[in-house]
Amino acid sequence: MFFFYPADFTFVCPTELGDVADHYEELQKLGVDVYSVSTDTHFTHKAWHSSSDTIAKIKYAMIGDPTGALTRNFENMREDEGLADRGTFNR
């Protein structure tokens, strides 16, 4: 499951990522691999993971897509803002 969100250090995104983290073990038991994706860098993900209790509980991969290549591949880019749109894809 690829879970796209606009940006780290925002107000809504941590609650969504935290909800997925709360269900991560259930998803794994179903054979679902979880990847969160934003156009932030992996350095930004690390800083957010280190500074937020909600994000610190995340055990799934947080993919940095600063060029937007993966986000565009899923046709999920807000081109005018250079940010991923919210979206979940099972592939």
77 noted as active-site residue: no
Residue 46: CB atoms within 10 Å? 13
User: Annotated catalytic residue: which of 3, 5, 8, 13?
Assistant: 13
46 half-sphere exposure, CB direction, 13 A CA radius: 3
Residues with catalytic function: 13
